[in-house]
Amino acid sequence: MLLLVLDLLGIAVFAVSGALLAVRQRFDIVGVLVLATLTGLGGGWIRDVLIGVAPPTSLEDWRYLTVPVACGLVAFWFHPALERVDRPVIVFDAFGLGLFGVAGALKAAEHGAGPVAAAILGMVTCIGGGIIRDVLAGRAPVVLTTGELYAIPALAGSAVAAAGFEVGLPTVAVAIPAAALTIGWRLLAIWRGWKAPLPKSS
């Protein structure tokens, strides 16, 4: 139950980021709802397609579909207010990141992915939606270009979860420290201004 709430909260944060970008790029109502939905659920859909879960779980569950649509409608009407709540959103987003990565890695492992593939698919669950959002909005994918420490903490948590599953630890014992690693690393990176390296100019 708590997990479901956290999961939906993570989806909501992602969906709002998609909807706000769509509003800024002057998408219409369809574009805002589609971008909110793809940003919130797209990473999980890519993961489900790659592990052969068809149709993707969240496409079948009205609770998972309602959240991004509601977020999209709120953003469509109240975007000026939403643009002002950056700080708390960054913290929710870190929790969503931890949860998505670990849940994604464990789901992949349960469907037969090996530990390396499961770790990668956990990261894909986290960053897939944002990449779809940025491609459709016509900008360089934020998660690949800004040096923000985002995909790396997600991969770390996913890898811990996948490794724990591989050696047979109980899910809870694996999921909590794995998610904590992602969330802690991400929050520390924001707080201390840590960045991933950029290539040297040639």
Looking at beta carbons only, is 111 or 177 nearer to a second copy?
A: 111
Chain residues binding a second copy by CB under 8 A are 22-23, 25-32, 34-35, 45, 49-52, 54-56, 59-60, 62, 65, 76, 79-80, 83, 108, 112-114, 116-117, 120-121, 131, 135-141, 143-148, 150-152, 195-199, 202
In whole angstroms, give the CA distance from residue 102 to residue 109. Answer: 11
Q: How many CA atoms lie within 13 A of 169 on its CB side?
A: 15
Looking at beta carbons only, is 6 or 181 nearer to a second copy?
A: 181
Minimal distance, residue 193 CB to a second copy, in Å: 15
Looking at beta carbons only, is 22 or 175 nearer to a second copy?
A: 22
Minimal distance, residue 147 CB to a second copy, in Å: 4
Per residue in 37-69, is it b (16+ CB within 10 Å) or e — as a string?
Answer: bbbbbbbbbbbbebbebeebebeeeeebbebbb
Minimal distance, residue 199 CB to a second copy, in Å: 5
Looking at beta carbons only, is 7 or 37 nearer to a second copy?
A: 37
- Identify whether the C-beta of residue 118 lies closer than 8 Å to the C-beta of residue 109: yes
Count of CB atoms within 10 A of residue 148's CB? 16
In whole angstroms, give the CA distance from residue 90 to residue 186. Answer: 10
Minimal distance, residue 200 CB to a second copy, in Å: 8
